Amino acid sequence: MAACRRVLEHEPGHVEAHLSLGDLLLKSGRFNLAVEHFREALHRVPQRREAHVALGDALLRQRRNVEAMQAFREAIRLDPDDPVPYRKLSIALTDEDLFSEAATALVEALRLSPDHAATHHNLGLLYKGQAHNDKAIAALRRAVELDSTYADAHYHLGQLYFRLGRYEVAEAALMVALRHRPHYAEVHVELGRILAAQGRLEEAERALQQAVLADRFSAEAYRRLGRLYLRQGRAAEGQKMLALFQRLSPAREEILRNRYILSLYPQDANAHYNLGVLYVGVGRPVEAAAEYRNALAIDSENISARNNLANLLLKEGNAAAAIQQYEFVLRLDPRYVKGYNNLGIAHLMRGDATRARQAYERAVHLAPEKPEAHYNLALLYQKQGLESEARAEMAKYRDLSGKAVGAE
């Protein structure tokens, strides 16, 4: 990014630098800035097909689907024989529930590239969602003919066969999916459904337990396992599983959406960050920390991800590691008030009252209207025997807020 920016400082109209910087910003989750650079490139070379595709990608990631469609359609106008913008156009159309148009786009992509397994798979999913079962099965079968290891296609075939009551064929398709992806939680869940429907309850239980082992965020696995236990008269175990389902349920759709984004764009720092926030919300700090680290591996200057990672480190008692992260944040943004407040908490946890006081005082100096640092500074002054200073800070805190908070 720095190299691209240096080029643009000397030559603001350098098209390749705008495109390269846009791609890098897109990977790091800074979609608005990416859009700006792609638009600037197109302002200078409006016939650049790949720039329209890149712009469409950036808009698609923000769910600005109408604008994304316009970009992909312009790319198609410039080169109607390229299958890529048709595939991408279908994603935006599907997200807008324009299923027939999305299917038409995929059919056109297959006319241009008939042996593209993923396009057959996606067309099958569209047909499946519209309950066009025969068309869906035909498309998914073609996908696995082209790529026999395509676990997703085998999984969706299994679902379709189950929908049609063809249990044995459905089970066989799911077993093929698991042979290629043994830790595919959704397949284990579907297998559990099929086995339970046939009264094979012990096998169903094992399949659902495998789903939980494969993905601790699989709300559907907990729900079905809970219902299975209740069906077997195991009330306590059933209620426990259903309670876990209830806890995960509110975040389920967003977790699935961000995972889907990462399946398309593994280098999307923003999706990793969003998963981290979601995992914290459902009480999974270890997995959240892993996602924040994934985001930082892509974009080391993501202040929110680094601050949140530091907060998790602090909660687990690793104050030294948290301090390193907070200090990194403050090097990136010396006016980041939350960082100073949290840094003070971390120093205090390590018994360093002097540095904690410096951090709190810096937070108060930068944002005297924020209550948190006043409260923390009041407590610290009190511990140090500075009673008048403590009373003054506590009075300011009470004026600004009715309660104390910790790390943000």
The domain boundary, picked from 105, 140, 156, lies at: 105
Q: Check residue 407 and give its pLDDT.
A: 45
Q: Confirm whether 363 is domain-assigned.
A: yes
The arithmetic mean of pLDDT across residues 95-99, rounded, is: 94
My answer on whether 384 and 398 are in the same domain is yes
Q: Confirm whether 130 is domain-assigned.
A: no
Q: Confirm whether 95 is domain-assigned.
A: yes
Res 348 pLDDT > 60: yes
Q: N- to C-terminal Cα distance for the chain?
A: 30
Going by pLDDT thresholds of 50, 70 and 90, the confidence category of residue 364 is: confident
Question: Which of 112, 386, 185 minimizes the C-alpha distance to 89?
Answer: 112
Res 406 pLDDT > 50: no
**Domains in the chain, number:** 3
Structural domain span for residue 353: 336-408
What the block records as the tokens of 107 is 């059919």
Q: Confirm whether 253 is domain-assigned.
A: no
The arithmetic mean of pLDDT across residues 304-310, rounded, is: 95
Q: Confirm whether 17 is domain-assigned.
A: yes
The rounded distance, in Å, linking the Cα atoms of 133 and 64 is 31
How many residues comprise the chain?
408
Going by pLDDT thresholds of 50, 70 and 90, the confidence category of residue 402 is: low
pTM more than 0.75: yes
My answer on whether 96 and 23 are in the same domain is yes
Q: Confirm whether 402 is domain-assigned.
A: yes
Q: Confirm whether 291 is domain-assigned.
A: yes
My answer on whether 15 and 101 are in the same domain is yes
My answer on whether 315 and 341 are in the same domain is no
Question: Which of 26, 108, 22 minimizes the C-alpha distance to 62?
Answer: 26
